[in-house]
A and B are shown apart, each in its own frame.
Chain A
Amino acid sequence: GESVGLHLPTLSVQEGDNSIINCAYSNSASDYFIWYKQESGKGPQFIIDIRSNMDKRQGQRVTVLLNKTVKHLSLQIAATQPGDSAVYFCAETGSNDYKLSFGAGTTVTVRA
């Protein structure tokens, strides 16, 4: 079946640098995308979302970019901090509006 996946399982970044986490999806009917952050022992925490009628959305220190032509989603984190160390998942709802499909995640480690 169609699914959402991430390009790299791990990312190591120097504190203060910008991070870019990538995600490829295969379901062309995907309409809504969410980035979640999951710290050890906790449930996924919402970071930012974007609908398919947009190509960019900004939040506090985070930006999501959507390229529907190549079915690619990215999360940019500005001035990465130690508290940003976590596993990051992209998720999409496909052709329905409730069932999230998650990729395997990218583990981000921030070096001091």
Chain B
Amino acid sequence: DTGVSQDPRHKITKRGQNVTFRCDPISEHNRLYWYRQTLGQGPEFLTYFQNEAQLEKSRLLSDRFSAERPKGSFSTLEIQRTEQGDSAMYLCASSLDSTVEFFGPGTRLTVL
């Protein structure tokens, strides 16, 4: 257990529905990251927060995706109007400045 927690661990939804995932990073970590991982592939960077500021968003993050970290602690990732191609493992990681990123267990999303 790295100390990064994610909720829910699994989510099954129907195409067109909205879903929201939560990440609680290690408490003193100021940086928080979201990655997406599809079967057999390495994680792909989605977005990055330093404290409450979202500093970079990947081209992978379409307009249907939004992430927030309102108080610089936990973060949420929302996907609107889900598509089958959104099915993946969504991973959250945190770090203290430029040190090692520690990953949470992930939220596995299945879009039917």
Chain A positions within 8 Å of B, measured between CB atoms, are: 4, 32, 34, 36, 41-46, 49, 89, 91, 93, 97-105
Cβ contacts under 8 Å, B2 to chain A: 43, 45-46
A32 to B56, CA, bound (A): 19
- For B104, give the chain A residue with the smallest CB separation: A43
Binds A, one of B11-19, B43-51, B68-76, B80-88: B43-51
Q: How many B residues, CB 8 Å from partner? A: 24
A36 to B101, CA, bound (A): 10
Are A46 and B102 neighbours in the complex by a CB distance under 8 Å? yes
Are A46 and B105 neighbours in the complex by a CB distance under 8 Å? no
Cβ contacts under 8 Å, B104 to chain A: 43
Are A100 and B100 neighbours in the complex by a CB distance under 8 Å? no
Given contacts A43-B104, A46-B100, A97-B98, A102 and B91 within 8 Å (CB-CB): no
